[in-house]
Amino acid sequence: MALNRVVFSSVRLDWRTPEALYRELNEEFRFDFDPCPPNPGFDGLRVAWGRSNFVNPPYGRELPKWVAKAHAEAELGKTVVMLIPSRTDTRWWHDHIMAAPQIRFLRGRLRFQGAKHNAPFPSCVVIWRGES
Protein backbone atom coordinates (compact mmCIF):
# COMPACT_ATOMS: atom_id res chain seq x y z
CA MET A 1 0.00 0.00 0.00
CA ALA A 2 2.84 2.45 0.71
CA LEU A 3 4.11 2.09 -2.85
CA ASN A 4 0.68 2.98 -4.25
CA ARG A 5 0.68 6.19 -2.19
CA VAL A 6 4.02 7.16 -3.72
CA VAL A 7 3.11 6.21 -7.29
CA PHE A 8 -0.20 8.03 -7.25
CA SER A 9 0.69 10.91 -4.94
CA SER A 10 0.36 14.46 -6.16
CA VAL A 11 2.31 16.35 -3.52
CA ARG A 12 4.14 18.20 -6.28
CA LEU A 13 2.41 18.98 -9.57
CA ASP A 14 5.03 21.04 -11.39
CA TRP A 15 7.57 18.44 -12.50
CA ARG A 16 9.64 19.95 -15.31
CA THR A 17 10.30 18.00 -18.50
CA PRO A 18 13.87 16.71 -18.92
CA GLU A 19 15.63 19.23 -21.19
CA ALA A 20 16.99 16.66 -23.65
CA LEU A 21 13.55 15.12 -24.17
CA TYR A 22 11.95 18.53 -24.70
CA ARG A 23 14.65 19.59 -27.20
CA GLU A 24 14.20 16.39 -29.20
CA LEU A 25 10.42 16.78 -29.35
CA ASN A 26 10.59 20.50 -30.09
CA GLU A 27 12.94 19.87 -33.00
CA GLU A 28 10.40 17.45 -34.46
CA PHE A 29 7.19 19.41 -33.75
CA ARG A 30 8.26 23.09 -33.45
CA PHE A 31 6.04 23.95 -30.51
CA ASP A 32 4.37 27.35 -30.41
CA PHE A 33 2.35 26.93 -27.21
CA ASP A 34 2.66 25.37 -23.76
CA PRO A 35 -0.66 25.28 -21.90
CA CYS A 36 1.13 24.15 -18.73
CA PRO A 37 3.82 26.75 -18.08
CA PRO A 38 5.25 27.00 -14.55
CA ASN A 39 2.91 29.91 -13.82
CA PRO A 40 0.32 29.27 -11.11
CA GLY A 41 -1.83 32.15 -12.38
CA PHE A 42 -2.31 30.66 -15.85
CA ASP A 43 -4.99 28.04 -16.53
CA GLY A 44 -4.38 26.23 -19.82
CA LEU A 45 -7.64 24.34 -19.45
CA ARG A 46 -9.60 27.56 -20.04
CA VAL A 47 -7.90 28.87 -23.19
CA ALA A 48 -7.63 27.84 -26.83
CA TRP A 49 -4.30 26.21 -27.57
CA GLY A 50 -1.80 26.98 -30.31
CA ARG A 51 -1.09 25.23 -33.58
CA SER A 52 1.63 22.93 -32.12
CA ASN A 53 1.40 22.26 -28.38
CA PHE A 54 3.67 20.63 -25.84
CA VAL A 55 1.76 19.48 -22.78
CA ASN A 56 3.38 18.21 -19.58
CA PRO A 57 0.29 18.48 -17.39
CA PRO A 58 0.00 18.27 -13.62
CA TYR A 59 -0.02 14.56 -12.78
CA GLY A 60 -2.47 14.79 -9.89
CA ARG A 61 -6.25 14.48 -9.85
CA GLU A 62 -6.57 17.05 -12.65
CA LEU A 63 -4.76 14.83 -15.17
CA PRO A 64 -7.96 13.40 -16.72
CA LYS A 65 -9.16 16.96 -17.47
CA TRP A 66 -5.88 17.74 -19.26
CA VAL A 67 -6.07 14.55 -21.30
CA ALA A 68 -9.66 15.32 -22.34
CA LYS A 69 -8.71 18.91 -23.25
CA ALA A 70 -5.72 17.70 -25.30
CA HIS A 71 -7.91 15.27 -27.21
CA ALA A 72 -10.51 18.00 -27.86
CA GLU A 73 -7.85 20.45 -29.11
CA ALA A 74 -6.42 17.75 -31.38
CA GLU A 75 -9.86 17.17 -32.87
CA LEU A 76 -9.78 20.85 -33.90
CA GLY A 77 -6.77 20.03 -36.10
CA LYS A 78 -4.03 21.08 -33.69
CA THR A 79 -0.87 19.14 -33.01
CA VAL A 80 -0.74 18.03 -29.38
CA VAL A 81 2.24 16.24 -27.83
CA MET A 82 1.68 15.12 -24.24
CA LEU A 83 4.19 13.77 -21.74
CA ILE A 84 2.17 11.72 -19.27
CA PRO A 85 2.40 8.72 -16.98
CA SER A 86 1.67 5.47 -18.77
CA ARG A 87 -1.48 4.48 -16.88
CA THR A 88 -3.09 2.06 -19.28
CA ASP A 89 -5.61 0.83 -16.72
CA THR A 90 -7.46 4.13 -16.35
CA ARG A 91 -10.71 5.28 -17.90
CA TRP A 92 -9.08 8.43 -19.32
CA TRP A 93 -6.46 6.30 -21.06
CA HIS A 94 -9.10 4.23 -22.84
CA ASP A 95 -11.42 7.15 -23.58
CA HIS A 96 -8.78 9.53 -24.96
CA ILE A 97 -5.24 8.19 -25.27
CA MET A 98 -6.25 5.11 -27.24
CA ALA A 99 -7.71 7.51 -29.85
CA ALA A 100 -4.28 9.06 -30.45
CA PRO A 101 -2.58 8.01 -33.67
CA GLN A 102 0.77 7.58 -31.91
CA ILE A 103 1.92 6.62 -28.43
CA ARG A 104 5.66 6.44 -27.72
CA PHE A 105 6.45 4.47 -24.59
CA LEU A 106 9.67 5.72 -23.02
CA ARG A 107 12.30 3.23 -21.97
CA GLY A 108 13.18 3.36 -18.29
CA ARG A 109 11.96 5.97 -15.84
CA LEU A 110 12.34 9.69 -16.48
CA ARG A 111 14.25 11.97 -14.17
CA PHE A 112 12.38 15.27 -14.23
CA GLN A 113 14.34 18.50 -13.92
CA GLY A 114 15.21 19.20 -10.31
CA ALA A 115 14.29 15.68 -9.12
CA LYS A 116 16.72 13.70 -6.99
CA HIS A 117 15.41 10.37 -8.25
CA ASN A 118 13.76 8.92 -11.31
CA ALA A 119 9.96 8.96 -11.47
CA PRO A 120 8.28 6.00 -9.73
CA PHE A 121 6.14 5.34 -12.83
CA PRO A 122 6.66 4.70 -16.54
CA SER A 123 6.02 7.58 -18.95
CA CYS A 124 4.93 7.97 -22.54
CA VAL A 125 4.59 10.64 -25.18
CA VAL A 126 1.16 10.80 -26.81
CA ILE A 127 0.94 12.46 -30.20
CA TRP A 128 -1.96 13.84 -32.16
CA ARG A 129 -0.72 15.47 -35.38
CA GLY A 130 -2.91 18.35 -36.44
CA GLU A 131 -3.88 18.77 -40.04
CA SER A 132 -4.15 22.53 -40.48
Q: What is the pLDDT of residue 114?
A: 82
Q: State the total domains in the chain.
A: 1
CATH number of the domain at 64, please. Answer: 3.40.50
Contacts of 93 (CB under 8 A, 6+ apart): 67, 87
Domain that holds residue 53: 14-128
* Model pLDDT, residue 15: 73
pTM reported for the whole predicted model: 0.86
* 2 belongs to a structural domain: no
Q: Is residue 117 part of a domain?
A: yes
Please give the distance of CA 27 from its chain centroid, rounded to a whole number: 17
Pairwise CA distance, residues 45 & 97, whole Å: 17
Residue 12 has a pLDDT of: 54
pLDDT in tens, the chain (132 residues): 444 444 444 455 567 899 999 999 999 999 999 999 878 889 999 999 999 999 999 988 999 999 999 999 999 999 999 999 999 999 999 999 999 999 999 999 998 888 888 888 999 999 999 864
**d(Cα 19, Cα 82) in Å, to the nearest integer?**
15
With residues binned 3-state (H G I as helix, E B as strand, rest as coil), the percentages for the chain, rounded to 5, are 30, 20, 50
